[in-house]
Amino acid sequence: MNLHEYQGKKILAEHGVNVQRGYVISDKNDTLDIANKLIKETGTGWFVVKAQIHAGGRGKGGGVKLAKSLNELENIVSDILGMYLVTPQTSKDGKLVNQVLITEDVYYPGESEPEEFYVSILLNRVTGKNMIMYSTEGGMDIESVAENTPELIFYEDVDPLIGILPFQARKIAFNLGLSGKAFKEMTKFITLLYKSYVSSDSSLFEINPVLKTSDEKIMAVDAKVTLDDNSLFRHKEYESWRDLKEENPVEIEARAVGLNYVDLDGNVGCMVNGAGLAMATMDLIKQSGGEPANFLDVGGTADAKRVETAFRLILKDENVKAILVNIFGGIVRCDRVAQGIVDAYNNMGDTINIPIIVRLQGTNAEIAKDIIDNCGFKVYSAIEFQEAADKIQELV
Ligand code: GDP
Ligand code: MN
C-alpha cells in the first residue's frame, strides 16, 4: 500500500525522525488557520505548498511551490487544489489533486548553505537483508544519478536480526561528507529512520531530499513510503489511510470479492488458479506473441459464480482481445470448472464478444474438453500448454 507524503511523514515523526512540519488540507478555506498554526509552532514566515498525489516528480510538474506571504500562500493553494498535476511519473492526463500539504519553509538562509541528500531503505532480496541506499546527490531523480554517476550512490546492508549498528550510521554520515553537529544529527536521523522502517513493516522508504539546514539540522523534506500489504493485518492504525481515489477501480472491486487481480497493459486477459501458474501463463502469452492484460488468481474454487465474476472483471478492460483460462484441476475437478465456464457464458449472454481459450488439466480433463467442445459458444479447448499458445497466436 502506497502512502501520501503527509502520511509517511506522520510515521516518521511518531518515531522521532525529524521532518519538515506541516498540515494537510482539502479545503482552501482552511489555509489561514493552518498557516497561523505553523507560524506559532515553527516561527516560519515562508511556506511550501505540496500536492498530495501518489507520484513523484511533483516539483518539476508545478506541484510544489514556495509562498513568501500569506496572500501568495492562499493563491498557490487555490491554484494547486483541484488541478490535474502532470509529472514525469503520471500519465499525460495527470492526477487530480484532492489534498495539499502546507509546510514550513526549511531552506532558510544561515551560516551554511542548505544541502540535499538522498536516503532510501528497502529490502534487498538477493542478500535477504534491509538495504540503506544513499547519495550526496539529493533532490534529483535517483534513476539518472544511477545512470550517469553510479559511483555517487552508496549501499549499506543491515541484518534484520541485529538491526542497524552505530558504526553503520557513522559510516553513512561520513560518506555523505558531514562533520561536527551535522554528522551527529545524521547518525541519529539514520538510526531512527531505520527503526521507523522496521516497526511500520514498510517495504520502501525513500526520503529525497534529506536536508541539512543552514543551521546543521537534518530532516526529511519528502517521504515516499510503501507499507508491506502482508503486514497490514497488524497495523489497524493504517487501515483508514488507504486512498481509494489513487487506486485502480477494477483492482478495488476484485479485492472486495476476494480475487487477486493486477491490471496490466496487454491484450490477452487471463484467469488462472494459483499464483505460480498465473505467472507461468503470463510467460506463455508473451512467448506466443501476446501481452497479458492482467494477472488474475481465482483461487481454489473456480465455480460458475466465481468464474462469472472474474470474466466480468476482465471484460472491463477494453484492450482485451481474447481470454485465456488456465486451470489446474487438483482439488477442483476440471469438468466442474468447464461447466462453470459454460454456465457463466450462458448467464452473461452477448456481453462476451471475444474468443475464450480454455486449458483444463488434471482430474477429468478429457470430460471437461468434451463439455467445452460441445457448448456451442466461442470457447476453444486446449489441453497442452502449446496448443493454448498456438490458439492465442491464431486469435490475437
Ligand atoms: P517531489 O518533486 O515530488 O520529489 O517533491 P519534494 O517533496 O521532493 O519537493 C520538491 C523540491 O521542492 C525539493 O527538492 C526542494 O528543492 C523543494 N522544497 C521542498 N521543501 C522546501 C522548502 O521548505 N523550501 C524551499 N525553498 N524549497 C523546498
Ligand atoms: Mn522528492
Q: Which CATH superfamily is domain 248-395 in?
A: Succinyl-CoA synthetase domains (3.40.50.261)
Q: What residue owns the CA closest to ligand 1's atom 13?
A: 139
Identity of the residue numbered 382: A
Cα 294 to Cα 250, 298, 348, 374: the distances in Å are 11, 12, 21, 28
Q: pLDDT tens for residues 174-190?
A: 999 999 999 999 999 99
Grid cell in block for residue 260: 487477486
How confident is the model at residue 393, as a pLDDT?
79
SS3 category, 90: coil
Determine if ligand 1 sits within 6 Å of the CB of residue 209.
yes
As a whole number of angstroms, the distance between CA 183 and CA 230 comes to: 36
How confident is the model at residue 235, as a pLDDT?
96
CA of 2 to the centre of ligand 2 (A): 15
Place of cell 505460480: 276
**What top-level class would CATH report for the domain 1-19+108-246?**
alpha beta
CA of 157 to the centre of ligand 1 (A): 28
Determine if ligand 1 sits within 6 Å of the CB of residue 64.
yes
Q: DSSP letters along 25-68, please?
A: ESSGGGHHHHHHHHHHHH--SSEEEEE--S-S-TTTTT-EEEES
pTM of the predicted protein model: 0.84
Q: What residue owns the CA closest to ligand 1's atom 7?
A: 222
CATH of 21-105, one of 3.30.470.20, 3.30.1490.20, 3.90.1150.10, 3.90.600.10: 3.30.1490.20
CA of 34 to the centre of ligand 2 (A): 23
Domain boundaries, the chain: 1-19+108-246, 21-105, 248-395
How confident is the model at residue 302, as a pLDDT?
67
Among 51, 11, 32, CA closest to 246: 51
Count how many Cα atoms sit within 13 Å of the Cα of residue 49 in the half-sphere of its side chain.
30
126 CB contacts (<8 Å, ≥6 apart)?
A: none
How confident is the model at residue 352, as a pLDDT?
84
Considering every ligand atom, which ligand is closest to the CA of 107? 1
Q: pLDDT tens for residues 256-312?
A: 888 889 999 899 999 998 889 999 999 988 988 889 999 999 876 667 788 888 999
Pocket test for ligand 1, best of 105, 222, 224, 225 (most atoms within 8 A of CB): 222
Q: Which residues of the chain, if any, have pLDDT below 50?
A: none
